[in-house]
Amino acid sequence: MKSVLAIYLLCFLIGLPVSVCSESIATSPVTIPYKEGTAYERTVFENKVYIQNSTVPEKYLTQEIPWYFIAIHNEPFNHAGKQFFIEESYNVLQRMVAKADSYHIKLTLMFAASWVDFIKEKKEREDEVARWMANGHEIAAHRHSVFHTGNWDGYSAFPLTEINEYRNRFGYRPETCQGSLKTFMEKMKLLDPEMRAGCMNDKDTREVLPDEIIYDTCLGLANYGEFGRPESDMEPTKGRNDYVTVGKYNGIERKWLAHHFMPISALEAQQVFSSMRSGVYGTVNHSAPREFTAFSAYLDFLHRVDQKGIKSKTVSEIIAEKLLPEKRIADTLLAVDKRKEVINKPRVETDKLLRPGQKFLEAIEAMKAGKSSNEGEAGR
């Protein structure tokens, strides 16, 4: 009786209707509500509101929530200080995978090519990544093309003179060229010879796509509502996938999912996820220290609504298992690229160009001096 009175008092304090409290008591034990900032988080199921760390009815665990995937971008750091930043990110990645494993949640781990050397240089790292794969996580690829507003990964199908021109237009002295897209995939296959998925930073042009990557998450188009519509990854609705976008480029059929970039807070992603009864919801984080909090909070939420990880899938599993219908985009639309738009940007004077890794080196100095800085983390 005391516990029932406590629940009614709790509902009164956070402003829930008595009818909702009655339903919660009848179907689900309610404990102390999860609080972030000043707002209580709530999860909605069939017009009932369940405080997030309550026990959700079993039927919702398997039927009435969407499938979901979580991608982790492991950045290229193709600049000075690369070893420092990859080591820092690897430590975060280990924590991410450990937490996902404890909740039976699969991750799609998207590595930049620079990580391959780092992983291969020590057997314990190589063995650890192999264990992640054996535990059901997907090993995938990640690229920053020459059109990336932050750091280029060093791989491209374009001539070097053209690359230098593009990087200049973004205000950078060109980063070190590492090779062709073929070279990129040769390196990536050292992690998984069957690799077929990734984020290739291909929203501006599909010429950045290696032939082997047929499942991608970075076309830049929404996979719900009006077909072929661009939407920013920063929008929480971007993670909603009602269908897979399918198209042919360079004679190869490709398939795209979409995801929401969730760097600071998981609240909006949870709200969109909770509104869905079907489909797939996708998110992406970086293996960066400042993003671990949002990632961790989101996994806590998923564990509350899917305690056995039944609805957790990798990018390749969602597409290969045909969990969504497919919609075909015209090949002519995939052939469109925005290189001319880049070339039309004004040139930056040579003495004002940022050298590769300039902001990152400043971040290292700030950390050595004991200052707080976020500049050391690569942008998407």
Residues 223-258 have pLDDT tens digits of 999 999 999 999 999 999 999 999 999 999 999 999
CB 221 within 8 A of CB 231: yes
Q: pLDDT per residue over 14-32, tens digit each?
A: 444 443 344 333 333 333 2
Which of 55, 76, 94 is at the close of a domain? 55
Asked whether residue 250 falls in the same domain as residue 329, the answer is yes
pLDDT at site 268: 96
> pLDDT tens across 158-183, in order?
999 989 888 888 888 888 999 999 99
Return phi, psi of residue 199, to 5°: -115, 110
Are 116 and 263 found together in one domain? Answer: yes
DSSP symbol at 114: H
Residue 12 inside a domain? The answer is yes
| Whether 295 contacts 262, CB under 8 Å | yes
Q: Is 193 helix (H, G, I), strand (E, B) or coil?
A: coil
- Domain harbouring 249, CATH code: 3.20.20
Host H or E run for residue 24: helix 18-27
Q: Binning pLDDT at 50, 70 and 90, where does residue 352 land?
A: low
Q: Which of 210, 158, 151 is nearest to 181 (CA)?
A: 210
Could you give the count of Cα atoms lying within 13 Å of 248 in the half-sphere of its Cβ?
3
Q: Do 23 and 73 reside in the same domain of the chain?
A: no
Q: Where does the pLDDT of residue 343 fall: very low under 50, low under 70, confident under 90, or very high at 90 and above?
A: confident
Model confidence pLDDT, tens digit, residues 95-110: 999 999 999 999 999 9
Quote the domain boundaries for residue 167. Answer: 67-340
251-288: string of b/e by CB count within 10 Å (b at 16+)? eeebbbbbbbbbbeebbbbbebbbebeebbbbbbbbbb
**43 located within any domain:** yes
Return the H-helix or E-strand segment holding 162.
helix 160-169
Examine the domain organization and report whether 197 and 328 are in the same domain: yes
Contact between residue 341 and residue 325 where contact means Cβ atoms under 8 Å apart:
no
Contact between 138 and 315 (Cβ < 8 Å): yes
Say whether both 30 and 176 belong to one domain: no
Residue 112 lies in a domain: yes
User: Using one digit for the tens of pLDDT, what is the confidence trace for 292-340?
Assistant: 999 999 999 999 999 999 999 999 999 999 999 999 999 888 887 777 7
pLDDT level of residue 39 (50, 70, 90 thresholds): very low
Whether 193 maps to a domain, the answer reads yes
| Within a domain: 61 | no
Residue 181 and residue 155 in contact, taking contact as beta carbons nearer than 8 Å = yes
Task: Provide the pLDDT confidence category of residue 360 given band limits of 50, 70 and 90.
Answer: low
Whether residue 366 is contained in a domain is answered as no
Q: What is the mean pLDDT of residues 75-85?
A: 91
Number of folded domains in the chain? Answer: 2
Helix H or strand E encompassing 40: strand 39-40
Among 6-10, 11-15, 93-97, 372-376, name the one with the lowest average pLDDT. 372-376
Q: pLDDT band for position 138 (50/70/90)?
A: very high
Among candidate residues 32, 20, 89, 43, the one with its CA nearest the CA of residue 303: 43
What are the b/e assignments for 186-195, b being 16+ CB within 10 Å? ebbeebbeeb
83 and 202 co-located in one domain:
yes
Q: Which residues contact 251 (CB under 8 A, 6 or more apart)?
A: none
Q: Does one domain contain both 38 and 103?
A: no
Same domain, 174 and 255: yes
Within-domain flag for 179 = yes
Residue that terminates a domain, selected from 55, 79, 95: 55
Share of the chain above pLDDT 90, in %: 63
Same-domain pairing of 160 and 234: yes
Q: Is residue 368 part of a domain?
A: no
- CA 243, 244, 248 angle in degrees (round to 5)? 145
Q: Are residues 116 and 253 in the same domain?
A: yes
- Kindly state whether residues 306 and 265 are assigned to the same domain: yes
**Two tokens, residue 122:** 């020590």
Residues 153, 260 within the same domain? yes
Average pLDDT, whole number, for the chain? 82
Say how many Å lie between the first and final Cα of the chain, rounded: 53
